[in-house]
Amino acid sequence: MNSTSSVNSPSSARVISKRFAVLAATAVAAVLVLSGCSSDSGGIAKQYGNGTTQNYISGDGAVTEVSAKDRTDPVTFRAEDSNGDTVSSKDLRGKVVVLNFWYASCPPCRAEAKYLNQVHDEYADADDVAFIGVNVRDEAATAAAFERTFDVRYPTVLDQRTGTMQLAMSGQIAPNAVPATIVLDTKGRVAARVLGAIDGTSILQTLVSDELDAGKAS
């Protein structure tokens, strides 16, 4: 059999097809790891009334700051963290609040954990800054294992069953945009958001510092 007939044979076509499928799958996986993760909380997406967001992949850390005059009404929420304590928007008024949306098997969520910890530690003794994790997918044991592994030092709301926190942010981020970080100003309004993993501490430090200064000036 000559080389031309071998390449064009059905068996060779199947081999090439399989190789192409493997390469395509690898490329898609690489994009997911580099850009962000998609939560499969389709039920939450339906509650939002926007099915087109179900396959949303978070960005590469793009930052959006909202000027004070363009900020929407304060967000409202009431949930329970993994320690059994109540977390409510009412109790957080007067504080700059950092909300980080994550789940355990999301690689960018793991990569950014150390930076979130570092910025949190800068304000650990401050009574006007609060950090809250929002786990959008995992059960308690899985979330707790992640927190132990990455030494997360702030409380986490388990949002997988109720979707309370995601619904509160429905106008700000897509339902399954993970990781994502929201900064609330001292009035409870969305001041900034980061879609994708936080790569370093400087951006989040600046966002928090700016809102602290603005809160003191108002």
Print the domain residue range for 9: 3-35
Cα torsion through 121, 126, 131, 132, rounded to 10 = 120
CA of residue 34 relative to chain centroid, distance: 14
Q: Residue 19: phi, psi to the nearest 5? A: -65, -40
77 and 146 part of one domain:
yes
My answer on whether 69 and 31 are in the same domain is no
Note whether 53 and 144 are same-domain residues.
yes
CA distance 120 to 124: 6
Strand partners, 98: 131, 183
pLDDT in tens, the chain (218 residues): 544 444 455 444 444 444 444 444 444 344 444 446 755 444 443 333 332 333 334 466 789 999 999 999 999 999 999 889 999 999 999 999 999 999 999 999 999 999 999 999 999 999 999 999 999 999 999 999 999 999 999 999 999 999 999 999 988 887 668 999 999 999 999 999 999 999 999 999 999 999 999 998 87
Question: Which of 178, 192, 44, 165 is closest to 110 using CA atoms?
Answer: 178
12 and 80 together in one domain: no
The pTM of the full predicted model, rounded to 2 decimals, is 0.76
3-state DSSP percent of the chain in helix, strand and coil, to 5: 45, 20, 35
Q: Examine the domain organization and report whether 157 and 201 are in the same domain.
A: yes
Give yes or no: residues 195 and 112 share one domain.
yes
Q: Are residues 165 and 192 both part of a single domain?
A: yes
Q: How many domains does the chain have?
A: 2
- Kindly tell me the number of DSSP H helices and DSSP E strands found in the chain: 8, 10
Same domain, 80 and 160: yes
Verify that 162 and 60 share a domain, yes or no: yes
Answer yes or no: do 23 and 60 share one domain. no
Q: In this structure, are 28 and 130 located in the same domain? A: no
Query: Based on the domain organization, do 30 and 91 belong to the same domain?
Result: no
